[in-house]
């Protein structure tokens, strides 16, 4: 079941609530995923010749399925691709939205891989259209606005396709949707908690999110030179050969889609389908406290990528603090790092472990005050947002359209990299799900 009222936590693609912070280990269990361990991180660095992203090292991307198969494929020199997406629901994206895309851009570099980004304007219409009073066209317009924010996360135009569902479904992408639609209403209810009161658009939506995780949905990109095609009387073609592996980075609430996508691929493996591999992140908590994720609709302040420095400062200063109420008490008792939102954000955005540890020590022992920690965070976030805005403002229409052009030459070349220096076994063992962001200070 997707939701369980006896459960402290409810995690579905539409709802994320928990009474006392999300128990991510319980989710790994419940969703049948595997944790990201030090061994996997070591292998990732050895195979890609790239340092693991701080978000992998620090257990923010904490869970996966078949990630090692992606490493196997990459090691053999085979092409893989990466698929992720965004429902364009608001004009401005916030800091939490940027996390999966910055990470995906990093994975693109690590694997030198093609990335496919689905802009699910139809999804947002089905799920948000009524409450937000927005038309289908408006969500479509937001696709192109949000795409600029996504591009600003650092994607390579020669290796990236962004597509709007409204403008694109058809051909073999739709063929895969049609096949996926053999799923029954009961299965959809079981996986997502939707009911017969849900609209048909909502009930059928999962098939549309799953289809791009099969490379046969993009035969002109991934299987151009193959001879394994059926040719129809009108000359159009369908790819029927073996497909290539797909890796889907996402926040953990999106996993139900890919369990369904994996089940389907398992059923059709003798027709060339391959189960997509996944890698999942935790949620960036909201400024109001660690029990809610950052959300534009939760009533808490949110850091938008369009904010100016003054308002970022103000919002961060208002964040829930784990410090004591007065300087005297703080010096005496120190801060509770676990509930301190500014500290939680530093775990994401201050990449240097030594610096983070130093702040943890000083703040925990009362040598640092909440305002000082917030100031450090504010400077970091302001730099990230300023840089994002600078990059975004330079995106011309030509650049934007080149990301949406599926007929361009995609770059599948790969350069050899020199091996990097690896860490000790013990160091890797302290990474991933074993990473202690409080450095043993709690
Ligand atoms: N459903 C996602 C959202 O609401 C958008 C999305 C579409 C997506 N395709 C995806 C997310 C693939 C992760 C992977 O924002």
- pLDDT band for position 25 (cuts 50, 70, 90): very high
* pLDDT at site 298: 76
Global model pTM greater than 0.85: yes
- State the alpha helices, DSSP H only, in 271-352: 309-317, 327-333, 341-349
Per DSSP, which regions of 189-330 are E strands?
229-231, 237-239, 245-251, 277-281, 285-286, 289-293
* pLDDT at site 271: 97
Report residues whose beta carbon is within 6 angstroms of any ligand 1 atom: 13, 84-87, 118, 120, 123, 209, 248, 250, 254
- CA 303, CA 305: separation in Å to the nearest integer? 7
| Ligand 1 atom index nearest CA of 87 | 15
Q: Which residues pair with 284 in a beta bridge?
A: none
Reduced to 3 DSSP states, what percent helix, strand and coil does the chain have, rounded to the nearest 5? 50, 15, 35
- CA 310, CA 189: separation in Å to the nearest integer? 46
Q: Does the pLDDT at position 2 exceed 60?
A: no
- CA 356, CA 353: separation in Å to the nearest integer? 5
Integer CA distances (angstroms), 242 to 229, 292, 413, in order: 11, 42, 21
- pLDDT band for position 19 (cuts 50, 70, 90): confident
* pLDDT at site 7: 56
CB 195, CB 189: distance < 8 Å = yes
The CA 287 to ligand 1 mean position distance, Å, reads: 23
φ/ψ bin of 427: left (φ > 0), alpha (ψ from -120 to 50), beta (otherwise)? alpha
The CA 128 to ligand 1 mean position distance, Å, reads: 14
Top mutation candidate among 85, 256, 279 for ligand 1, by most atoms within 8 Å of CB: 85
Per-residue pLDDT tens over the stretch 271-323: 999 999 999 999 999 999 988 888 877 788 999 999 999 999 999 999 999 99
| Ligand 1 atom index nearest CA of 209 | 9
| Tokens at 351, concatenated | 């990449």
If you take atom 8 of ligand 1, which residue's CA is the nearest one?
Answer: 85
| Ligand 1 atom index nearest CA of 86 | 5
The CA 423 to ligand 1 mean position distance, Å, reads: 35
The CA 162 to ligand 1 mean position distance, Å, reads: 13
Sheet with strand 61-65: strands edge to edge: 34-35, 61-65, 277-281, 245-251, 80-86, 114-119, 160-164
| Ligand 1 atom index nearest CA of 120 | 7
- DSSP conformation class of 418: P
Largest distance between two CA atoms of the chain: 82
* pLDDT at site 293: 85
| Ligand 1 atom index nearest CA of 213 | 12
CB 431, CB 41: distance < 8 Å = yes
Q: Does the pLDDT at position 204 exceed 70?
A: yes
- What is the average pLDDT value for the chain, to the nearest integer? 95
Q: Does the pLDDT at position 434 exceed 60?
A: yes
The CA 140 to ligand 1 mean position distance, Å, reads: 15
| Tokens at 402, concatenated | 């080149």
Which of 124, 147, 123 lies closest to 210 in space, CA to CA?
123
Which of 60, 64, 168 lies closest to 119 in space, CA to CA?
168
Question: Is residue 11 within a helix (H) or strand (E), and if so which, with residue range?
Answer: strand 9-12
- State the alpha helices, DSSP H only, in 250-308: 255-267
Q: What are phi and psi of 402, to 5 degrees?
A: -65, -30
Q: What are phi and psi of 311, to 5 degrees?
A: -75, -30
Integer CA distances (angstroms), 396 to 88, 152, 163, 333, in order: 20, 12, 17, 53
Top mutation candidate among 81, 87, 165, 207 for ligand 1, by most atoms within 8 Å of CB: 87
């Amino acid at each position: 079941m997707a939701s369980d009222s006896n459960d402290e936590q409810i995690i579905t693609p539409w709802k994320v609530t928990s009474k006392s912070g999300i128990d991510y280990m319980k989710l790994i269990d419940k969703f049948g995923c595997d944790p990201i361990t030090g061994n996997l991180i070591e292998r990732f660095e050895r195979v890609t010749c790239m340092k693991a992203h701080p978000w992998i090292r620090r257990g923010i991307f904490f869970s996966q399925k078949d990630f090692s198969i992606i490493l196997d494929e990459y090691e053999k020199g085979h092409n893989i691709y990466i698929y992720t997406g965004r429902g364009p629901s608001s004009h401005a994206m916030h800091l939490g939205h940027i996390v999966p895309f910055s990470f995906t851009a990093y994975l693109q570099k690590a694997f030198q891989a093609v990335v496919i980004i689905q802009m699910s304007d139809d999804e947002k219409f089905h799920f948000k259209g009524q409450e937000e009073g927005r038309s289908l066209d408006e969500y479509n317009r937001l696709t192109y606005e949000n795409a600029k924010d996504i591009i600003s996360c650092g994607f390579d135009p020669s290796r990236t396709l962004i597509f709007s569902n409204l403008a694109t479904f058809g051909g073999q992408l739709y063929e895969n949707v049609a096949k996926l639609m053999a799923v029954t209403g009961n299965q959809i209810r079981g996986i997502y908690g939707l009911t017969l009161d849900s609209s048909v658009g909502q009930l059928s939506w999962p098939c549309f999110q799953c289809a791009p995780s099969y490379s046969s949905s993009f035969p002109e990109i991934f299987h151009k030179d193959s001879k394994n095609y059926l040719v129809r009387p009108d000359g159009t073609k369908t790819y029927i050969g073996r497909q290539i592996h797909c890796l889907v980075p996402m926040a953990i609430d999106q996993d139900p889609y890919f369990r369904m996508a994996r089940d389907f691929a398992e059923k059709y493996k003798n027709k060339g389908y391959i189960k997509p591999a996944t890698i999942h992140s935790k949620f960036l908590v909201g400024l109001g406290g660690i029990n809610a994720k950052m959300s534009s609709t939760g009533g808490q302040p949110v850091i938008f990528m369009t904010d100016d420095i003054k308002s970022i400062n103000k919002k961060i200063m208002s964040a829930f603090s784990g410090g004591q109420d007065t300087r005297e008490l703080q010096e005496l008792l120190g801060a509770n790092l676990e509930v301190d939102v500014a500290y939680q954000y530093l775990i994401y955005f201050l990449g240097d472990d030594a610096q983070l540890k130093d702040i943890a020590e000083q703040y925990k022992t009362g040598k640092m005050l909440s305002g000082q920690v917030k100031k450090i965070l504010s400077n970091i976030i302001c730099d990230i947002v300023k840089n994002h805005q600078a990059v975004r403002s330079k995106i011309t229409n030509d650049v934007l359209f080149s990301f949406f052009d599926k007929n361009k030459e995609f770059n599948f070349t790969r350069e050899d990299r020199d091996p990097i220096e690896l860490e000790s076994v013990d160091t890797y063992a302290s990474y991933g799900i074993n990473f202690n962001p409080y450095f043993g200070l709690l």
